[in-house]
Amino acid sequence: MALQTDVAKMRLHVLASGSKGNATIVENIVTGEGLLIDCGICKRDFLARCDEAGFDVQRLVAVLVTHEHTDHTKGLGVVYRALAKLDVHPTLLTSRVVRNASCNIDELLMQELCDFATFDEGDALSLAGFQVHPFATSHDAAQSFGFRVECDGDVLGFMTDTGIVTPAAHEALDNCRLLAMEANHDRVMLANGPYPYPLKRRIASERGHLSNEQAADELASLLHDGLEAVIAMHVSENNNDYELPGVALQEALTRAGHGAAVRVAYQRKLVTV
């Protein structure tokens, strides 16, 4: 169930989150316009989950790409072609480095289905009635970003695909009403799981992914009276489950006596906050 408060100006629709594909809509409640963060899912799932969320794809203004890994970009071509048939052409935005590192983005731009613009860390982007502030994350990509999204006093923090929370990222996530934050793996499950050691080491490294414990520690440092909900993102289906991240985040809230809601994003199911 989506949160409704006096300050709420945006909704977050997580269409898919995980290593098999990522896509999230940030919707402006007032105008109905929206931003898509990443597009690593197929046309069918994208359109079906937007419809389930009640989001009109003809109100999609822009697509922001966090980094070039295919679970965040492989759906761009099919989704943009589907949108073009509806005469919808959202601007594609990412950094110049990410654009140059991505075959999926290169192929899309060659089809001339959209305008393209670049951003970098510290920019302020005016899109769909939002102010979007990209910040750098620490991941084994050419370059990677999270976003702070502001709208008339309402604030969303979005961070996935990072092995640590940098000081700049922590600052960007401060004083948010909604937090979408990576809780990728359980440390014990990763250590004892089937992945080869080099991959385990990469995931657990400072350029890998946040564990449940790291996410809970970061959440504990971000608590304030205006925080209403936190959603665990990019949950591994091999080194985690869909219960453990929620338990870890809830424990952090309970220790502090905080009443924010906890949700967990899924690979194959819509979650809206």
> What CATH number is attached to the domain comprising 132?
3.60.15.10
Rg (CA), the chain: 17
Please give the average per-residue pLDDT across 49-58, as a whole number: 98
Q: Which pair of tokens denotes residue 191?
A: 């250590």
| Structural domains in the chain (count) | 1
- With a cut of 70, say whether residue 1 has pLDDT above it: no
Q: Within a domain: residue 2?
A: no
Please give the average per-residue pLDDT across 110-116, as a whole number: 93
Please give the average per-residue pLDDT across 91-102, as a whole number: 98
Question: pLDDT exceeding 90 applies to what percent of the chain?
Answer: 97
- Domain of residue 218: give its range: 10-272
Are 12 and 20 within 8 A, CB to CB? no
Whole-angstrom distance, CA of residue 41 vs CA of residue 266: 13
Q: Within a domain: residue 258?
A: yes
- Residue whose C-alpha is closest to residue 121's, from 158, 172, 157: 172
- With a cut of 60, say whether residue 60 has pLDDT above it: yes
Question: pLDDT exceeding 70 applies to what percent of the chain?
Answer: 98
At 6, the pLDDT band (50, 70, 90 cuts) reads low
Q: Within a domain: residue 5?
A: no
SS (H, E, C) 135-182: EECCCCCCCCEEEEEEECCEEEEEECCCCCCCHHHHHHCCCCCEEEEE
Q: Within a domain: residue 3?
A: no
Q: Note the residue count of the chain.
A: 273
Whole-angstrom distance, CA of residue 146 vs CA of residue 248: 22
Whole-structure pTM value: 0.95
Q: Within a domain: residue 100?
A: yes
Q: Within a domain: residue 4?
A: no
Whole-angstrom distance, CA of residue 64 vs CA of residue 92: 6
Please give the average per-residue pLDDT across 17-39, as a whole number: 97
Q: What is the pLDDT of residues 168-203, one digit of tens each?
A: 999 999 999 999 999 999 999 999 999 999 999 999
Q: Within a domain: residue 1?
A: no
Whole-angstrom distance, CA of residue 200 vs CA of residue 211: 12
Question: 254: exposed, middle or buried (C-beta count within 10 Å: 0-12, 13-18, 19+)?
Answer: exposed
Average pLDDT, the chain: 96
- With a cut of 90, say whether residue 3 has pLDDT above it: no
Whole-angstrom distance, CA of residue 15 vs CA of residue 72: 12
At 7, the pLDDT band (50, 70, 90 cuts) reads confident
